[in-house]
Structure 1
Amino acid sequence: RIKGETVEEIRGAARVMRDRATPIRVGRTLDIDRDEINLDRESILDTCGTGGSGTRSFNISTTVALVVASCGVRVAKHGNRSVSSACGSADVLEALGVNLDITPEQVAETIERVGVGFLYAPALHGAMKHAIGPRREIGIRTIFNILGPLTNPAGADRQVLGVFRGDLVEPLAEVLAGLGCRRGFVVHGSDGMDEITLTGPTRMAAIADGRVTTGIINPGDFGFATCRLEDLQGGDAACNANIVRAILDGEAGPKRDVVLLNAAYALVAADGAADPHQGLRLAAEAIDSGRARQTLDRLVEVTNGF
């Protein structure tokens, strides 16, 4: 159980996991004594959160990854099956038809060809697969909830990281800054969600140029009405896959709106938008034009073609 690890302890554990992970090499790379140098590479974004919020929200960050990728951002979505939630990112992507049983090289190729790829944590963090069963059995949040989003095997340098506890926001932003995150946001909704929420304010820490600043995100500042937590909840993998398809097909409502708001900040983190208001417009256009749904369809096609 999380006892209140220090920034230094979390950062150290994350570095060990990163060193032992199977790397996903996107773009031209040079390997020197296990230190991977990417040459002329574009930035890579991850939208992986901690999970464990207990709010039963649908797979918001996974939907966001598809929307942001359709805006031209390269996304390496790190994730897992359900451990402490009803439906993990791997579960919903599989229900959407994405083939997860591909090699690290094929994951990298998928990111190059589609703009987004899924990094299945147990396949890339070999030492951690032994923790899956015990984590599921004890059913409580552990340090592994925190380490997952900090150990992207593609070396994502842009990130939106949702956390299950408000007091983790600033410390994990400091951890990310120390791990080389160039720009990102760590967020926690007032309703407990490990996402930017629409039910009320969201606590936020922004990372830019090695510095961390804190603030609050209010849905009303973007023209969104507050909603109930039930409006953002999902179910099992089949249910959540239907929700994702409906959003990408243009269905209106709080679920679309929460994806737009989270995508807006993801686009800012990736330098795909100057500010969240512009990000909001770009994300809405990506859905309404059909590009976001095309990205999902292309992801299914490419991963099943290997």
Structure 2
Amino acid sequence: MSLSDFLRTITPGRKDLRNLSEDEAFGAFDCILSGAESEITVASFFVALRAKGLTVDELKGFARCARSRATLPCESMPGLVCICSPNDGTQDSPPLDVAAGMIAAAAGARVLISSDRCVPPLRGLTAASVLEHLGASMTWDAAEAEDWVQTTRFAAIAVTGMLPAFLGLRRVREDITMRTPLSTVEKLICPESAAVLIGAQNGPVLGMAVEVMQGLGHTRALAIQGIEGGVVPSLRKRTRGIELNGEFLVSLVVEPEDFGLAWDTDPELPLFSFAPPGRGPGDNPALVKAAGEIVNLVLSGENGPARNASILAAALTLKAAGRCMTLAEGIDSAIEALDSGAARETLERVREQSA
């Protein structure tokens, strides 16, 4: 079947409109990733799907297809946790997943961050932006990422390195100007054997994210509605999450005040003028530098909202990985890793490894 056949199935207004089965979704996404479909057809499919509403089975089918075409690192590696933030990044807050990941790695987890640079439509700041400023780097090679995790307990890999076909979809994403299922699927490109900490947007998608992880074979996962849809909890209010532990789904609420980590404001980036058309925060060297320096100061021990938010995100990473039973235990481990200088040492090892 061609993508046009699947498009007719989901086009709003048709009497025979219905959801795709998981296998049909796999087939539709395979058509998209093959590169044989026109950009107009691909864009029409994503717009129709957004208008209809995405289902768990459709998302599972898309993710299974993406994983089948991807070269995944660290498969069957024990103790691995993948941090999966939005690949189109942030625009108002610094991406603190690098700080959280290095703190968690220093506390004993094996951490793999999936990221990318200047992904439309937002073209925001990501882990790749931060690593660039820190003199470390993200890799595009799965074997290299696996070697770095084995050696330093930390690595960041480009989603387009694991699945180059995603590069060919960037113009479609730019032209549509709104988020498509690609924004979710790219966060799901990780080994089935890994634990996962995944960011979710506000709204009813939180439960869907965990159901999809469970349906893809994961036994440990944590979905969190963090700042800008990422994995970093707010310091001003409670943050909702759902944890997958074996066969059980458990609601989780992060209350910063309970741990003495509340702050009047969440971590913020300095204000700059709006980006010109076709550009975003990730294209702004001054913002890249500012985001990287915020993370550098966190790993150097500076107090402030960025430190507190990074500690909370690191604790969630440790909990997702099964390194702690409670969030309080994870926070204690994260603070020890940060205050002892172990997290900073992780950064130095990553710099040496990626030089």
| TM norm structure 2 | 0.76
1:266 aligns to 2:317 (yes or no)? yes
- CA-to-partner distance for each residue in 1:183-226, whole Å, 9 max, x for gaps? 2211114x654332112111211111132222432212222224
Aligned alpha-carbon RMSD (Å): 2.1
Match of 2:351 among 294, 297, 300: 300
| Alignment check: 8 A CA contact 2:192 2:218 kept | no
Q: Which residue in the other structure is 2:35 paired with?
A: none
Residue segments in structure 2 that go unaligned for 5+ positions in a row:
1-46, 271-280, 282-286
| Alignment check: 8 A CA contact 2:91 2:125 kept | no
| Alignment check: 8 A CA contact 1:58 1:232 kept | yes
| Alignment check: 8 A CA contact 2:60 2:215 kept | yes
Match of 2:182 among 138, 144, 160: 144
Relative contact order (C-alpha < 8 Å, sep 6+): which is higher? 1
- Residues 85, 166 of structure 1: CA spacing in aligned structure 2 closer, same or farther, 3 A cutoff? farther
Q: Which residue in the other structure is 1:197 paired with?
A: 234
Q: Which residue in the other structure is 1:22 paired with?
A: 71
Query: Matched residues in 2 for 1:89 and 1:12: separation?
Result: 27
What pairs with 1:157-306 in structure 2 (closer than 5 Å)? Answer: 157-189=194-226, 192-195=228-231, 196-229=233-266, 231-233=267-269, 236-304=287-355
Structure 1 residues 130-139 or 270-279, which shifts more? 130-139
The amino acid across from 2:242 in the alignment is A
Q: Which residue in the other structure is 1:90 paired with?
A: 128
Q: Which residue in the other structure is 1:12 paired with?
A: 61
Query: Matched residues in 2 for 1:64 and 1:139: separation?
Result: 30
In the TM superposition, what is the alpha-carbon distance from 1:53 to its structure 2 partner? 7.7
In the TM superposition, what is the alpha-carbon distance from 1:52 to its structure 2 partner? 5.6
- CA-to-partner distance for each residue in 1:87-128, whole Å, 9 max, x for gaps? 122122122112335632222111100001111111111211
Q: Which residue in the other structure is 2:111 paired with?
A: 75
Residue segments in structure 1 that go unaligned for 5+ positions in a row:
27-37
- Residues 108, 133 of structure 1: CA spacing in aligned structure 2 closer, same or farther, 3 A cutoff? same
Match of 1:128 among 166, 176, 191: 166
1:301 alignment partner, SS class: helix
| Alignment check: 8 A CA contact 2:96 2:127 kept | no
- Residues 82, 292 of structure 1: CA spacing in aligned structure 2 closer, same or farther, 3 A cutoff? same
| Alignment check: 8 A CA contact 1:102 1:303 kept | no
Query: Matched residues in 1 for 2:269 and 2:204: separation?
Result: 24
Q: Which residue in the other structure is 2:33 paired with?
A: none
Structure 1 residues 191-200 or 216-225, which shifts more? 191-200
| Alignment check: 8 A CA contact 2:63 2:189 kept | yes
- Residues 193, 227 of structure 1: CA spacing in aligned structure 2 closer, same or farther, 3 A cutoff? farther
* Percent of matched pairs sharing the same residue: 26
- Residues 129, 156 of structure 1: CA spacing in aligned structure 2 closer, same or farther, 3 A cutoff? farther
Structure 1 residues 125-134 or 165-174, which shifts more? 125-134
1:166 alignment partner, SS class: coil
| Alignment check: 8 A CA contact 1:206 1:214 kept | yes
| Alignment check: 8 A CA contact 1:178 1:210 kept | no
1:47 alignment partner, SS class: strand
- Residues 133, 63 of structure 1: CA spacing in aligned structure 2 closer, same or farther, 3 A cutoff? farther
1:106 aligns to 2:144 (yes or no)? yes
Determine which structure has the larger helix proportion and give its number.
2
Query: Matched residues in 1 for 2:124 and 2:72: separation?
Result: 28
Query: Matched residues in 2 for 1:68 and 1:101: separation?
Result: 20
In the TM superposition, what is the alpha-carbon distance from 1:250 to its structure 2 partner? 0.3
2:225 alignment partner, SS class: strand
Structure ID, larger Rg? 2
| Alignment check: 8 A CA contact 1:50 1:164 kept | no
In the TM superposition, what is the alpha-carbon distance from 1:54 to its structure 2 partner? 5.8
In the TM superposition, what is the alpha-carbon distance from 1:10 to its structure 2 partner? 0.3
In the TM superposition, what is the alpha-carbon distance from 1:160 to its structure 2 partner? 1.3
| Alignment check: 8 A CA contact 2:88 2:118 kept | no
Query: Matched residues in 2 for 1:228 and 1:52: separation?
Result: 23
